[in-house]
């Protein structure tokens, strides 16, 4: 149900994914009023199960209110993972409510106190994993270390380098809490801590993992998205501002298309809640069908790789080398 | 001396500004080793005073270390304002050191506890004033209210609308401190508080003023700059990736140039420390000569408008309407 574009985009994304993944089964949770929007192909698909009697919830509710709405599609979708009926859950619903449902229904992996939202960012050199992007407003230095270790397991790099997001590179920058976090990250032998990184270096790709609290990470993510969208809009306007611009714009179309594809946020849609005993993937609220399909691909790759199990093993035996390579390494190129 | 490009960019910026502003006088503070870089035109200019015997300081020093380096160019430049020898000081030096020097030498305006770094951002509808962009890592709700009031005086809008940067729009988003700040902003009758704004809405231009703490503001600013730079780079690469791309790129040059000019960070260089009893302008560390010249224009406009005096009057008589319109309104179009 979730997402600004409503169930139609999700339904279309399911059609795309079913065609791409012949072994994929879907259970789709929605409210009765979304039933008329369901395409015929999904209605009668052998690999689709429909649960159309979910209750709708107000997006203005507090995250913990989901505990009183256990017939909501969000809750029931997460529940299907906890009941072993699904290997992963993807939702475009309220992030806070998803986290509450995930913690309650799936539980935390041993040794991890809080789930963190982790996403791959495109960079000049490849990709960087950034977390937390909004699950936790306040985090302790110990929790930041857990985030760093989880993302280090997920990273395809052999000895993933980790940086901490700050407003400067010098050791005296930032507040007391960020300096305490840096000290804690430095002290953990399993974390290859490189020091601070500034927000304008996030796309340089000089580190494999960037850790930050969920407030700061969310600000950095949304500011980047906002700036990118603004520039793309302005470029369109520049090319449509004159007859000459329009003509050149037509000629430049293949070049511009290739350019946009390189960093299209839709290609990077699908953020993982790391730290839960189960796969829970958050899709961007504004995702269209193609973007939601990418979030589904993230979930499929992560479920197939058994990342959660591998992570659990790592935290029970922290001296072991990275047990899995990045399950998404072959998905997004 | 400050800035990544060194004194040469600053000297060139002074030449540009002298040509543009016939009534402008400069005192330029620098270290003896920068003397050979000084252009002849400045060396003998009637409206230029040179102070070439400043001490150099390490940019790795703590901000408060500037108090032990009172012969540094940064300190002496700010001092020239406190001594009434200059109407405004512009520096590309260490932000923290500038703030320490500004507070010590110029002092705070009555009723304002902390200086805030404020800058105009280009938006879809015009401009928005954003503060604090890095002066204060932690701020109290009362201090955020002071920031909002200062920027409301600076804004050209008649009843400037104010929003608080957060990770969501709903009242339950963010931590306790941000909710306390929202409550304080709502309670002040002089502030036209509109609620929260997300980082991806900063460029929408739906509000006149955005307030935030210096840590969050700095992350948002640098993330936006980093994303913009990345996109511009990628676009260049796309146009130079093939013979066709190169050809179309040549044809598109005037369109692309117009596009870049619309949001070129150099055009918006020059951030004001609001709240000090004197004009102190911070230039971006990476500013080139053209960008530094824009920071000089910000200082000139602000000094000519007597903004500090007007602000002091506003805070001593807070019921008065906005005493000055934005001194930059005619500068940046």
pLDDT digits (tens, 9 = 90+) for A123-150: 999 899 999 999 888 899 999 999 999 9
Residue A48: beta bridge partners? A26
Cβ contact (<8 Å) for A259 and B238? yes
pLDDT of residue B249: 87
CB atoms within 10 A of CB B60: 11
pLDDT of residue A2: 66
Residues of chain B with Cβ-Cβ distance to A124 below 8 Å are 230, 233
pLDDT of residue A325: 44
Residue A122: beta bridge partners? A127
Domain B7-228+258-316: which topology? Isopropylmalate Dehydrogenase (3.40.718)
User: Which residue matches tokens 């703030």?
Assistant: B99
User: Which residue matches tokens 């110029």?
Assistant: B106
Q: Considering only CA atoms, which of A269, A210, A214 is closest in space to residue A96?
A: A214
Residues A95-118: pLDDT tens digits? 889 999 999 999 999 889 999 999
B134: left (phi over 0), alpha (psi -120 to 50) or beta: left
For residue A274, the surrounding DSSP H or E stretch is: strand A271-274
Token code pair at residue B177: 């401190």
Distance in angstroms (rounded) separating the CA atoms of residues B134 and B117: 6
Residue ranges of chain A with pLDDT lower than 70?
2, 59, 317-333
Q: Considering only CA atoms, which of B242, B233, B50, B11 is closest in space to residue A254?
A: B242
- Residue A321 DSSP one-character state: P
pLDDT of residue B331: 42
How distant, in Å, are the alpha carbons of A119, A211, B174, B320 from that of B194? 31, 32, 16, 21
Residues ≥6 apart with Cβ < 8 Å to B194? B161, B162, B163, B206, B207
CA A323 to chain centre: 21
Please name the residues between 141 and 170 in chain A that touch chain B, using a CB distance below 8 Å: 165, 167, 170
Residues of chain B with Cβ-Cβ distance to A169 below 8 Å are none
Radius of gyration, CA atoms only, chain A: 20
Residues A29-40: pLDDT tens digits? 999 999 999 999
Distance in angstroms (rounded) separating the CA atoms of residues A236 and B142: 42
Distance in angstroms (rounded) separating the CA atoms of residues B8 and A59: 55
Under CATH, which architecture does the A7-316 domain have? 3-Layer(aba) Sandwich (3.40)
A196 touches chain B (CB under 8 A): no
Please name the residues between 59 and 88 in chain A that touch chain B, using a CB distance below 8 Å: 59-60, 62-63
Distance in angstroms (rounded) separating the CA atoms of residues B286 and B5: 7
Per-residue pLDDT of chain B (333 residues; tens, 9 = 90+): 767 778 899 999 999 999 999 999 999 999 999 999 999 999 999 999 999 999 988 767 788 888 888 889 999 999 999 999 999 999 998 888 999 999 999 999 988 999 999 999 999 998 999 999 998 888 999 999 999 999 998 888 889 999 999 998 888 788 888 999 999 999 998 899 999 999 999 999 999 999 999 999 999 999 999 999 898 888 888 888 888 888 888 888 888 888 887 777 778 899 999 999 999 999 988 889 999 999 999 999 888 887 877 788 888 765 544 444 444 444 433
pLDDT of residue B318: 54
Contact criterion met (CB below 8 Å) for A214 and A132: yes
């Amino acid at each position: 149900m979730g997402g600004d574009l409503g169930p139609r985009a999700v339904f279309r994304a399911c059609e795309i994914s079913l065609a791409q993944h012949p072994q994929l089964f879907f259970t789709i949770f929605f409210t009765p009023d979304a039933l008329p929007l369901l395409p015929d192909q999904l209605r009668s698909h052998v690999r689709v199960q429909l649960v159309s009697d979910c209750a709708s919830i107000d997006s203005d509710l507090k995250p913990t209110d989901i505990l009183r709405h256990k017939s909501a599609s969000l809750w029931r979708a997460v529940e299907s993972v906890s009941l072993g009926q699904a290997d992963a859950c993807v939702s475009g619903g309220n992030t806070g409510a998803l986290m509450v449902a995930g913690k309650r229904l799936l539980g935390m992996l041993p040794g991890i106190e809080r789930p963190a939202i982790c996403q791959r960012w495109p960079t000049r050199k490849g990709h960087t994993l950034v977390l937390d992007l909004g699950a936790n407003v306040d985090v302790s230095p110990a929790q930041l270390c857990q985030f760093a270790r989880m993302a280090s397991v997920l990273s395809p790099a052999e000895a993933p380098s980790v940086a901490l997001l700050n407003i400067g590179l010098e050791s005296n920058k930032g507040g007391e809490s960020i300096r305490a976090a840096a000290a804690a990250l430095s002290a953990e032998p399993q974390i290859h801590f490189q020091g601070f990184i500034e927000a304008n270096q996030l796309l340089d790709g000089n580190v494999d993992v960037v850790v930050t609290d969920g407030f700061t990470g969310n600000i950095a993510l949304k500011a980047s998205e906002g700036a990118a969208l603004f520039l793309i809009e302005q470029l369109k306007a520049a090319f449509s501002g004159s007859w000459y611009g329009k003509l050149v714009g037509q000629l430049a179309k293949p070049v511009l298309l290739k350019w946009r594809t390189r960093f299209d946020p839709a290609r990077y849609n699908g953020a993982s809640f790391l730290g839960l005993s189960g796969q829970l993937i958050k899709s961007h609220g504004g995702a269209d069908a193609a973007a939601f399909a990418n979030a589904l691909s993230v979930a499929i790759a992560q479920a197939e790789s058994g990342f959660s199990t591998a992570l659990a093993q790592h935290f029970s035996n922290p001296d072991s080398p990275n047990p899995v390579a990045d399950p998404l390494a072959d998905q997004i190129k």
